Amino acid sequence: MTDMSLFLSSPAIDRLIDLALEEDLGAGDVTTQALIPEDLQGEAHIRAKENLVVAGLPLTARVFRKLAPEVACTPQVEDGREVEPGTVLAILTGPVAPILTGERVALNFLQHLSGIATYTKKMVEAVAFLPVALVDTRKTTPGWRSLEKYAVRLGGGRNHRGGLFDGVLIKNNHLKAVGSITEAVRRARKSAPHTLKIEVEVSNLTELEEALNIGADIVMLDNMSEADMAKAADLTLGRALLEASGSMTLERLPLVAATRVNFISMGALTHSAPAVDIHLRLIKTWS
């Protein structure tokens, strides 16, 4: 997907917002209902408290819209922008009660996705001087995949498969069941749509040779040393694209990139990125 808006168009995202609100709201926000008059109006600011890459502002607006269409959420920056502490990300105006009720759910989306975008940008910058692409994986929070992959893109990373449906990736358990790389690729070529690339996971140079000889489009070098990755690049000579995978860290990324692989996949982009610090503060009220 190239148009960023496509990541946010899935009906599953509305279901996710509904689930998050149902989880938090339950039978009702007893605190807000007890303290806040229905006719009280106000203005609130959502503000960054650290350096971060913004991701998820469209979700913030959708959260409040579900609670009360009268709440106006006006972004002050665009998703994908890097901001400093103190930057106002969005201004909310309207009835105070739904603003307070939706605060935590809206911030959960915004802090988590901005955390992924911020973490991804840091990793991408570590290999920016070499011709390699940093890609995500399917190691995503259940139900959040489209959103988390959107955040990766905002941070400068690229997306691997969206799911099991849009690419053939023959992994070690497939090979164990089938018996050989050659037979697995043969079956994939026979049955999968011709428009799909066929990728094979290998763990040593012997398996790499077999994958190359049978015509795999992409070969994943799983948990190989940098020395073996460099040898793999020498052996491949452009016959397939090479993807390095397994145990990637900030410190290791430049070493792996220097081996001349085409892609580095990193599950930590989505499963280990820390949330960033963002808060919502009520600025003024009126009746």
Asked if 149 is an active-site residue, the reply is no
Residue 209 token pair: 């040779």
Asked if 201 is an active-site residue, the reply is yes
Asked if 226 is an active-site residue, the reply is no
Of 103, 201, 207, 243, which is the active-site residue? 201
Asked if 70 is an active-site residue, the reply is no
Asked if 49 is an active-site residue, the reply is no
Of 62, 66, 81, 104, which is the active-site residue? 104
Active site residues: 104, 139, 171, 201, 222
